[in-house]
Amino acid sequence: MRNFSEPTLREARRIIHDAQRIAVLTGSGMSSESGVPTFRDAQTGLWEKYSPEQLATRDAMANQPALVWSWMLHQARVMRSVTPHEGHTTLGRWQKHLIDTGGSLDIITQNIDDLHERADAEVLAHLHGTTFTFRCFECNAPSDYELEDATEEQLEARPELDQLVLEDPPNCRDCHGGYIRPDIVMFGEFLPQRAMDDALEAVRVADVALVVGTSNIVQPAASLPIVASAAGAKVIEINPSETPLSQDADVYINGTARTILPELYSQ
Ligand code: NAD
Ligand code: ZN
């Protein structure tokens, strides 16, 4: 069923048609149709006992290292096992086209997966880090830990995460005591300054900010569409559920990333 209206889509296409500089802000809804659940979708298994906000913290890692590490590893394995969808590949083609014609399409993502990159799109800013590089929890030294391909059994634990087989995190070779963790931003930690600076610069110069699959409540990422709008950009939002941004967006499209992005750009 098409639950978005044609006039809304036409209005978005009209705005996009003249845009040379587009900033695309993506959240976990961008990846959900590839098979990576958003946090708010994942209400089963482990989530009955712990919320992601409780697990992805420094305190939780210090107090329950095996649980937190095993959960993060599981997430990383799921992300590696899935493939980008048409929404991701559309952004890859669109970015190439705009660059070839003197414009830009800057992707700013809150996602810690690499689905944009695997769809041949360059990501300007990973605001919440990435789950595929690792460092020491204590001394921050980069780690050469490499994620192995998941076994069928490991992947089948999804989504009943209470089936997780707990593993202890490896130890750092530099300080010998610290646990290894992925390079993601845990709740309560600061965002990488460089990524945030790049994101702010991109939204300030954008003609259009395209906001896809984010609930627009996690700060400071949620402020980026507002900065874009204040600097003169038109804001187009794609999300099957309304968010605090929807009322203020120039165009709110009630639909999913996989369906709508190819409708907006079809070259
Ligand atoms: P979030 O708060 O941004 O919420 C997800 C949003 O996506 C919701 O507004 C939902 O309505 C929307 N959505 C769901 N399906 C969609 C679809 N098919 N198309 C478009 N929009 C859709 O994100 P969260 O899940 O609460 O996660 C919080 C943080 O946790 C993220 O910012 C990220 O750092 C991390 N996280 C990352 C991933 C990933 O990398 N794939 C997955 C889960 C969580
Ligand atoms: Zn260390």
CA 120/CA 198 separation, integer angstroms: 20
Buried b (16+ CB within 10 A) or exposed e, 192-214: beebbebbbebbeebbbbbbbbb
The pLDDT tens digits along the chain (267 residues) read 345 688 899 999 999 998 999 999 999 999 999 998 887 776 555 566 677 778 889 999 999 999 899 989 988 988 999 999 999 999 999 999 999 999 999 999 999 999 999 999 999 999 999 999 999 999 999 999 988 888 887 777 654 556 678 899 999 999 988 999 999 999 889 999 999 999 999 999 999 999 999 999 988 999 999 999 999 999 999 999 999 999 999 999 999 999 999 999 976
β-bridge pairing 129-136 and 142-143: antiparallel
Its pTM stands at 0.93
Q: Look at the alpha carbons of 167, 173, 178, 182 in this order and tell me if their dihedral is positive or negative.
A: negative
Other C-beta atoms within 10 Å of 52: how many? 17
pLDDT at 159: 47
Nearest ligand to the C-alpha of residue 34? 1
Q: Look at the alpha carbons of 131, 78, 35, 50 in this order and tell me if their dihedral is positive or negative.
A: negative
Ligand 1, atom 43: closest residue by C-alpha: 38
pLDDT at 196: 97
Ligand 1 and 82: CB distance under 6 A:
no
- Residue 258 CA, ligand 1 centroid: distance in Å: 14
CA 160/CA 240 separation, integer angstroms: 25
59: tokens are 């305190």
149 is in an annotated binding site: no
pLDDT at 1: 39
Other C-beta atoms within 10 Å of 60: how many? 18
pLDDT at 157: 63
136 is in an annotated binding site: yes
Nearest ligand to the C-alpha of residue 241? 1
pLDDT at 32: 94
Domains of the chain plus CATH, in order, are: 1-36+84-128+191-267 (3.40.50.1220), 37-81+131-184 (3.30.1600.10)
